[in-house]
Structures are given as C-alpha cells and as structure tokens.
Chains A and B, each alone.
Chain A
Amino acid sequence: MAVWTDMGKPRGGFAVCGRPVLAVAVLALLALASLLVGSSGIGLRALLDDPRSVELLWVSRMPRTIALILAGTASAITGLIMQRLVQNRFVEPSTMGTVDSACLGLLLGVIFIPDASPLARMALAALFSWLGTLLFLLILRTMPRRSALMPPLLGIAYGGVIGALSYLIAWQTGLIQALAAWTTADFSVVLAGRYELLYLAAAATALAWFGADRFTLAGLGDDVARSVGLNPRMVLALGVSIVAITAGSIVVTVGFIPFLGLIVPNLVSRRVGDNLRNALPMVAWLGASVTLVCDLLGRLVFYPYELPIGATMGVLGAAVFLFLLLRRDGT
C-alpha cells in the first residue's frame, strides 16, 4: 500500500475500487452527466425545457452513454486479456497490430464491397484483426524474451507496417480521411440503431470474463497450461478471437480508443495486484468511467462542437502511460 500513498491525483477516484457501492455510484453519476450534456443544452433544465427532449434522450444521449460504457469496458478488458496471454504489461490491441489489422480489413471492405452492411464490415474487420493478431503472436514466439519492452516495441513496429500498408492503399484510393476517422474514436454520431454492434463486443467481453483464469494459465506457457489440463492452442485461439471481435466491432462503430486497454489494467494491477478475479470488475469499472470522463471533456471543451474522444483520451492516456513507465519500480 505504501506505493499508493504518494500517487497523487489518480488515487482520489481510484480509492473507490475497494468499495462496490461507491464505485457504482460514481459510474452512475458519470452516466447521468453523460445524459445531461449535449449540444442542445447542458443540465436537467435544458432537457426539461426542450419539449422534444424525451426523443433526444432515447435517440441520442442514452445510446451514446451506453456505447461509451460498452466500448470502455470492452477495451479495458481486452487489454487485460492480451496482457495475460502475452505475459506482458505493455501490450494491448493497439500495440500488437490488432487495431491496425482491423482498420486494414475495414478499408479493403470499403474499397471492394462498398455496399456491405455494418455487420459484414465488422466481420471483415474482425477477421483481419484475428489474422493480424495471430501472426503477431507467431512472430513473437520466435523472438527471445530478453526485455519486457520487447513485445510492445515489436508490436508497435508490426502495427506500423500494417498501418503503412493501409495508409498506402488509402492514399492511392483517396480514403486518407476515412482511415483517420476509424483510427480516431468519436462517439458524436452514435445514435439508436447505429451502435448496437457494441453489444457483440460486450458479449465477447463477458465470455472473456468467464475464461479469464485460463488466459492467465495459458500465458504462463504451454507446459503450465497442459499440466492443469488446458489446451494452450485452444485458449490462445479463444482469447485472440474475443479480442478480434471486440476490436472489430469497436473500430466499425466508434473508432479505436487509444491507451485505454493499456493504462486501465496497469492502474488496477498497481492497486490490487495481479489476481485476475479481483482485477476484472475494477478494470471494467475504470474502463467505463475513464471513457465517460474523456467523452464528457470532449463534449465540453469546444462546446457546442465536439472534440473526438480519441483526442482527449490520447492526451490523458499518454500522460498516465508516461507516469506508469516512470514509476515502474524496476519490475
């Protein structure tokens, strides 16, 4: 606990982790704030003054709030799963080529099957992120593990190569701005009927919740996994599939949210250690809360215009990530 006494700001909101009632209250408060903030006015009065406010609530504010909670939770938990599978604290879907592969799939979908339904485009994005992630894990297996920084660095380089390929294709087909839109998360166009794919991400995340212990065991090595009766390949395939479906559905609906899968599990493990069963609810809670806060900030900074959450999360996430790197007590 001593480590945490001098942590400064993050601790304030963080201390609630151990108290479920308080945690739920904070999340409920943030969700309420998300329902009350929008470009047609801020606060309960603005909603009551507007005669069409009930429609606004159901069509726009509620879906946006649900989408934020679903995407935030799913991103944070898939980050945690990947960290356990690879046994490395610094990997997450964006530092192992998963997100870049999803964007490549989406891009090729737009070019070759422009009239595809959102579900078909998601499937393509998920397929690509599945293949991309698997390829990364295969490459990683051939590498000697000398440093904890090696997998994320390799992953960033690998993602960079896939990203460069996407960029080249986008550049030649004039889709640079569309590519930029998918890689920058933005909840401003979320409406009823346009975010429901995220429930698929939520379902995949729920599956991950139940399989969480196996991912830790599989991450400890094939021998450990076999010794407790697990098929390491099956577990790996399951984990990668969950991450791919989650990344695909998030990229298709709102775009990739940077840093979330990286900082949330790390902050939580600093607090409660590496026990997955303890960590999961907190990772889910913190993922949703941080996402809500960043989107609220984005809605308020240039009110009534919007700053995409990709930008607010990028700034906040980079700061927290640097903090985590510098405070890593030699582990």
Chain B
Amino acid sequence: MRQILSALCFFLGTTALHAQTVTVDTARGPVEVESGPQRVVTLDLGVLDTIKVIGGDVVGVPNGVKPDYLSEYAGTPYTEVGTFFEPDIETIAALDPDLIIVAGRSQAKYDELSGLAPTIDLTTDTTDFVGSIHRNTETIGAIYGREEVARTALKELDAKVTAMHDMAAEAGTALTILTTGGRMSTHGAKGRFSVLYGDFGFEPAIAEVDSGNHGQPISNEFIRSTDPDWIFVIDRDAAIGRDGQPAAQLLDNPLVNDTKAAKAGHIVYLDPIDWYVVGASITPVENSVATISGALAK
C-alpha cells in the first residue's frame, strides 16, 4: 500500500511539475508553454546564445559556422538540426524535443515545426533591437525558470549600451556598409543594422533608406559624397567563413579614402558573425559595444 501511495505521489508530483506552464512573450504574441523544458531545439544562434547566457540546456543546434563563444555547441552531445533556413525535420523528430525555438531566418518554418512539438517564434524586430533582446532574454529566462539571471544580464547590457549611447551622441554621422561578392549596399536607420542608430545613438549619415533585407546598392562615389564621420563595415562573405575579397581591400580606394571617416581612421570593421549570423542577443551586442567604444575612445 505504501508503495502504491508513494508511486501515486510520485506520479502526481511529476504530472504537477509537467503541467506547470508560464505565459511568455514571443514574436507572435503571448503564448503559454511548459516551463523547465528538458529537450530544447533551436535553429537560431541568437537564441542559442541567450540560452547559454541564462544557463539553460539545449539538445539541438543549427548547422554551420559558430562564433568562439558558442564553439562548445559544435559536436557532441549536441545534434545539428539543419541550417538557419531549412530545418532537418527527421533529425528534429528523432530528438523528441519538448520545445522548439525558431527566429528570424527559420520563422517561415514555424507551422511545419509546430506539428512536431510546441514551437515558439523569437524573431527580433530590427527597429527595436535592444527591446527585442529584452523580450527574448526574459522569455527564455521564464521558460527555464531563471528569471533572476536574465534580469541581471539585461541590467548589465543596458548599462553598457547607455554608456555607448552617451559616447556616440557626440561622434557625428555614421554609415553602415554591407559588402558581399565585391559589391556594397547600405542600410538606413530603420534597416537591419538600426541598432547602431537607435540604440547606440549614432546619427544616420543618410536619411531614410528603403532597403529590404540586403540593403540598397551603393557606389564608392556615394560613400564619398555622403562623407560620414564614421563608417561601419560588415563583410558578409567573412561572416560565412570566406575572406577572398576582404571588405578592407574593396574600400581602400581614393574615393572612400577621401571621406572624413577614412581620414580620421574611423572605419570600423564589425564582427561579421556577430552582426550577420548571430544577431540579437546579449553576447554579440556586448562584443560590438566593446569594439565600437574602443574605436570611439581612441
């Protein structure tokens, strides 16, 4: 009888634990998920970084290049579950996940993955970058029951971003350039790299750019006539592990060298993996703040 009772207690206990849910904010509005997931799969490196920051566990991670701070996720015991865009459905099903987190590039697969396991979408809003990091970190903190860690990490991030903002406000205008295959494009204050203007506080060198995801193609002449105080470069080809035609080589020409930014040594090459691959999460943003603050302080 005692055995039966204790078995019953155990059963009730575990079901009670399982039934515990939290309501969290996602890109598709508030959703209710079970807390304390054991087998989490994510297709996004920003989400993976956030999980690491708050001290959670995952079983499935995206394929491909990973930054140093996420290098421990390359190889066992973690399973690669597909590219950012294309989840490997069979591998994910075999992992029997209790939560799948998509974001950004993998958001289009939300419906497909929802059929396998509870799925949430943590796609970031490029016009509210730091705000998105707050939402995602709080959401992931709540799911893993580590709200306190999330709060502390966000407080530190905010302090760094505020300090950065104070410095940047005095620094003048900035232009962001994305390079790929020997071509250049720019993104405006509301585009993919809006964090430089909105959150970090640089003044956009150009007014609104109707840019789309890969920006508006520009020429060297455009860079010279815009004449920004700062140029931030993201070398897309280096982001995916290629540096055959480095951005520095592309930009080292008489027209770009004639800008205020080049003359003052204010061309900053941002870490392409942080900016292009990982995106919105605490570690890459803190890295960027350190890089840019360092350049500003010179």
Q: Which B residues have a C-beta under 8 Å from some C-beta of A? A: 64-65, 180-184, 186, 209, 214, 216-222, 224-225, 236-237, 239-245, 250, 253-255, 258
Q: How far, in whole Å, are A173 and B239 apart by their CA atoms in the complex?
A: 11
Nearest residue (CB) in A for B216 is A305
Specify which chain B residues have a CB less than 8 angstroms from the CB of A181 in the assembled complex.
180-183
Is A189 touching B183 in the complex (CB atoms < 8 A)? yes
Q: How does the 8 Å CB contact mask read for A42-73 relative to B, with 1 for contact and 0 for none?
A: 00000000001001100111000000000000
CA distance A262 to B225 in the complex (A): 37
Which chain A residue has the least Cβ–Cβ distance from B258? A52
Q: A38-B221, A306-B219 are in contact. Are A189 and B64 (CB under 8 A)?
A: no
Which of A110-118, A131-139, A144-152, A280-288 is found at the contact surface with chain B? A110-118
Whether, in the assembled complex, A297 has its beta carbon less than 8 Å from a beta carbon of chain B, the answer is no
Contact indicator A305/B224 (Cβ below 8 Å): no
Contact B216 A56 (CB under 8 A): no
Task: Contact check, A60 vs B217: say whether CB atoms are below 8 A apart.
Answer: no
* A59-B253 contact in complex given A39-B218, A178-B181, A178-B237, C-beta closer than 8 Å: yes
Does residue A300 face the partner (Cβ distance < 8 Å to B)?
no
Residues of B within 8 A of A304 (CB): 222, 225
Q: In angstroms, how far is the closest chain A Cβ from the Cβ of B39?
A: 28
A 287-304 to B, binary, CB cutoff 8 A, 1 in contact else 0: 000000000000000101
Residues B242 and A114 in contact, CB atoms below 8 Å apart: yes
Instruction: Let me know if B219 and A39 touch, CB within 8 A.
Output: yes
A interface, size bucket: 35 or more
Let me know if A186 and B183 touch, CB within 8 A: yes
Chain A positions near chain B (C-beta within 8 angstroms): 38-41, 52, 55-56, 59-61, 109-111, 114-116, 173-175, 177-182, 186, 188-189, 191-194, 302, 304-308
A174 to B65, CA, bound (A): 10
Contacts of A192 in B (CB 8 A): 254
| 25 pairs from A and B in contact (CB 8 Å cutoff) | A39-B219, A55-B254, A59-B254, A114-B244, A116-B244, A174-B65, A174-B239, A174-B242, A175-B237, A175-B240, A180-B181, A181-B181, A181-B182, A188-B183, A188-B217, A188-B218, A188-B219, A189-B182, A189-B183, A189-B220, A304-B225, A305-B222, A306-B216, A306-B218, A307-B217
* Contact between chains at B180 and A40 (CB < 8 Å): no
Which 9 A-B pairs give the minimum distances between C-beta atoms?
Answer: A181-B181, A174-B240, A178-B181, A40-B225, A114-B244, A39-B222, A188-B219, A305-B216, A177-B180
Closest to B179 in A: A189
Do the beta carbons of B222 and A179 come within 8 Å of each other? no
| CB-defined contacts of B240 to chain A, threshold 8 Å | 173-175
Question: How near does chain A come to B244, taking the closest CB pair, in angstroms?
Answer: 4
Q: Give, as a whole number of angstroms, the nearest-CB distance from A194 to chain B.
A: 8
**Told that A38-B219, A177-B236, A188-B218 touch, could you supply 17 new A-B pairs with CB distance under 8 A?**
A39-B222, A41-B225, A55-B254, A55-B258, A56-B255, A59-B255, A60-B221, A174-B65, A177-B181, A178-B180, A178-B237, A181-B183, A189-B184, A191-B220, A191-B255, A305-B222, A306-B218
Min CB distance, B158 to chain A, in Å?
33
Nearest CB of B to A64, in Å: 8
Expressed in whole angstroms, the minimum distance between the Cβ of A311 and any Cβ of chain B is: 10
Given known A178-B181, A189-B184, contact A308–B255 (CB-CB < 8 A)? no
- With a CB–CB cut-off of 8 A, which chain B residues contact A175? 181, 237, 240, 242
Contacting pair A191 B181 (CB below 8 A): no
CA of A177 to CA of B180, assembled, Å:
7
